[in-house]
A and B are shown apart, each in its own frame.
Chain A
Amino acid sequence: MARSIVNDPRVRGLFYQVLLVVALAALFAFGWRNAVVNMEARGIPLGFSFWNEIAGFDINLSLIDYSALSTYGRAFWVGLLNTLLVAGISIVLATPLGFAVGVARLSPNWILSRLALGYVELMRNTPLLLQLLFWYNAVLKALPGPRQSLDAFGLVLLNNRGLYLPRPVFADGAWTILVAGGVGLVASVVFARWAKQRQDATGEQAPVGLVAAALILLPAVLAYFLAGRPVGFNYAALAGFNLRGGLQIFPEFAALVFGLVTYTAGFIAEIVRAGVLAVSHGQIEAASALGLKRGQSMKLIVVPQAMRLIIPPLTSQYLNIVKNSSLAVFIGYPDLVLIFAGTVLNQTHAAVQVMAITMGVYLAISLIIAAALNLFNARMALKER
């Protein structure tokens, strides 16, 4: 009877699982025990009390109030917001660029498709870090100083301290523009619904895009003049050895966004190309048989079907942007990793706590983006009848 118990797959399975659980538990206990001993020996705090201590360092880019007198907890939020800022802007910019390059890859024009191919190969086959260092050190830092700024009509200035854009200045009454635009937005949504219903019923199409643009822009422009032009612009200008005024975009931020966008666009382009190519050729032929033009058949037939294939890998590219934004640490953009896993960790020595929080944040972001796009994906998925 002993043999049959040994050979029973359920008993064996249970045995292996117990073995694994015990081994993992022992490993964790071993690590935990050593960590406690080591941290006490080195005088490293065990809890999270450092969270409310004074940080004592400055951060040059912060979306919320922050000074050297703020707490480590505040520094964490600054870093997190900076990470989200750079990742969000990069996602918004990389998507259209990637789609454009992907479509260019499929262009019948030989030069255009070869150029797009060259772009994709160059981006995908060199390390992102190398690209970032190139943009930051060899391009942005090598620009002339503030006194010899590159100048586009005095509106946009570029020098080795950053890119200077006009900064909008809002006076009293600026809110009326926002309200007018908002009303226009609601009106255009209502119009779009009505147009869709009418098209479903009668087949007649309405110029939804044009009407919506007019509905939003006209009231906003009208409000701007009626309220006495409450929005002005503040331009950067030379004052002493530096530029004053305007909206300064730091070279670290610019290099990181530019590098992330161009790099990820190369990957998105390949995803788009694969998605479009996967749509069966019969679909395109049927579309032309119905009399649709090339652009129409792309927009109405090919892309909606390709999107189903594009969205899952596109999601992982978005996640990659969030994760790759941590390369900020190499060029000194104050993101979550640089501020929290760098400076805060070095000052408090609370390595375990800081790393746990940092990794937890990235995990949470990953899970949220994945969940959101899964939801979207479920709506886009083929409806089998």
Chain B
Amino acid sequence: MGVVAFVRTASEPDEPPPIFSRGALAWMRANLFSSVTSSVFTLLFLALGLYLLPPLIEWATVKAVWTAPDGALCRLHQDGACWAFIARKIDYLSYGSYPESDYWRVILVEVLGAALIVWLLWPGAPGKRFGAWGFFLVYPIVSFVLLVGAPSLDLPHVDTLMWGGIFVSLVTALVGIVVSLPLGVLLALGRRSDLPAVRLASVIFIEFVRGVPFITVLFMANNMLPLFLPPGWEVDRFARPLVGIALFSAAYMAEEVRGGLQTLSRGQYEGAMALGLDYSHMMRLVVLPQALTLVIPGIVNNFIGLFKDTTLVAIVGVNDFLATMDNAFKDAVWSGPSLLATGYAFAAAFYFVFCYAMSSYSAGVEKRLAVGRRR
């Protein structure tokens, strides 16, 4: 056999892939210019972005006033943010009127709380049982002693009237979390109970609280709590809204937990009963560990709502972060046209960082749970 003229002996070099099926151009064609409408939108938003974004970034960076002793410079540079104001007021925004020499107490409480929360939320962290006891029992007592003060421990007393700023927002949210989770679990169990009186009491409480605005709960805690206690009993002005926020978020938490209890199959209950476990063992060892794991994303989403709701405590005279910001605005030394936008942008960034972190965590957990349950 000789060489056959029409059979190739060597293959041709590879053609490059068509430019519209791989790489950046293909991505743009699929995601930005897939149709006429899509292209119009893309161009419209690009133009809008080019028009709006540069001034906004300039406002926050190049044209902003970063350091100044008072508002004169900010009034001069009206088209830029007045970050100097935030820098000057940051102590007040963080601690309110808490004595400066005692800031370490607040910082210690915040660091402890952060450490415990990370411990509890970190998937697979060791010794979570101790972490939970620490967070729900030891931590509140330690924080209370540290923040309020105990003369016997050489910690001077700091009245809650002096409290304010970011730390009050965090304390409010933490009290809400620490109280509402156990209480919410109890209420959820009560609502699912076989005992009609327990069920009725839980349903009435949950539906009542969920049916009214948080502000009215705060008003009630502030105006009516003193009326319901015997004459002479004084409730601290800061403690009243805390009672309100704890009860309020407990009702929402209860509904979240109830969802978890309902998704659990009946077989889990029956299996536990067949093993001879009584109610409390069944709940503690079989049902709740599974149900609570299922609803972690929902619980964290509830915390986000709770954290955002802490801003409302200002209405009953608590000096939370937003309230201190409002007070800081009133400082005549700083008054200027760029002040409000700066302050609100800073506050928004603060809340956004916290809430976004929580929602990312909850989305992550949701994804992980979905992997475990996928078949």
Residues of A within 8 A of B (CB): 13, 16-18, 20-21, 24, 30-31, 34-35, 37-39, 41, 107-112, 115, 121-122, 124-130, 133-134, 137-138, 142, 319, 323-324, 326-327, 329-330, 337, 341, 345, 351-352, 355, 358-359, 362-363, 366-367
Chain A neighbourhood of B210, CB < 8 A: 366
Chain B neighbourhood of A366, CB < 8 A: 210-212
Stretch at the interface among B17-25, B83-91, B339-347: B339-347
**B224 pairs with A351, CB closer than 8 A:** yes
> What's the minimum C-beta distance from A251 to chain B, rounded to whole angstroms?
14
**A41 pairs with B351, CB closer than 8 A:** no
A-B contact pairs, 10 of them (CB 8 A): A17-B195, A37-B231, A107-B38, A108-B30, A109-B38, A121-B359, A122-B352, A126-B308, A129-B312, A329-B315
Complex Cα spacing A227 to B311, Å: 55
Q: Which of A31, A37, A110, A130 contacts B322, CB < 8 Å?
A: A130
> What's the minimum C-beta distance from A110 to chain B, rounded to whole angstroms?
4
Q: Which of B41, B196, B212, B326 contacts A109, CB < 8 Å?
A: B41
Contact size range, B: 35 or more
Residues of B within 8 A of A (CB): 30-32, 34, 38, 41-42, 45-46, 194-198, 201, 208, 210-216, 219-220, 223-224, 226-231, 304, 308-309, 311-312, 314-315, 322, 326, 337, 340-341, 344, 347-348, 351-352, 355-356, 359
Complex Cα spacing A381 to B312, Å: 38
Known A34-B230, A112-B41, A115-B45: A20·B201 in contact at CB below 8 Å: yes
Q: Which of A16, A126, A363 contacts B211, CB < 8 Å?
A: A363
**B216 pairs with A326, CB closer than 8 A:** yes
> What's the minimum C-beta distance from B75 to chain A, rounded to whole angstroms?
14
**B351 pairs with A111, CB closer than 8 A:** no
Complex Cα spacing A129 to B311, Å: 7
**A35 pairs with B228, CB closer than 8 A:** yes
**B322 pairs with A133, CB closer than 8 A:** yes
> What's the minimum C-beta distance from B53 to chain A, rounded to whole angstroms?
12
Complex Cα spacing A124 to B308, Å: 9
Q: Which of A20, A108, A128 contacts B198, CB < 8 Å?
A: A20
Chain B neighbourhood of A20, CB < 8 A: 197-198, 201
Q: Which of A31, A109, A125 contacts B304, CB < 8 Å?
A: A125
Complex Cα spacing A310 to B355, Å: 24
Decide if the interface of chain A is mainly helix, strand, loop or mixed. Answer: helix
- Closest B residue to A352 by CB, please name it: B224
Chain B neighbourhood of A345, CB < 8 A: 219, 223
Complex Cα spacing A324 to B308, Å: 12
**A111 pairs with B356, CB closer than 8 A:** no
Q: Which of B197, B314, B315, B356 contacts A121, CB < 8 Å?
A: B356
Chain A neighbourhood of B312, CB < 8 A: 129, 327
Chain B neighbourhood of A367, CB < 8 A: 211
Q: Which of A109, A126, A133, A362 contacts B213, CB < 8 Å?
A: A362
**A125 pairs with B352, CB closer than 8 A:** yes
Known A13-B194, A110-B31: A133·B344 in contact at CB below 8 Å: yes
Q: Which of B31, B223, B315, B351 contacts A126, CB < 8 Å?
A: B351
- Closest A residue to B48 by CB, please name it: A115
Complex Cα spacing A108 to B34, Å: 8
Complex Cα spacing A225 to B132, Å: 76
> What's the minimum C-beta distance from A321 to chain B, rounded to whole angstroms?
11
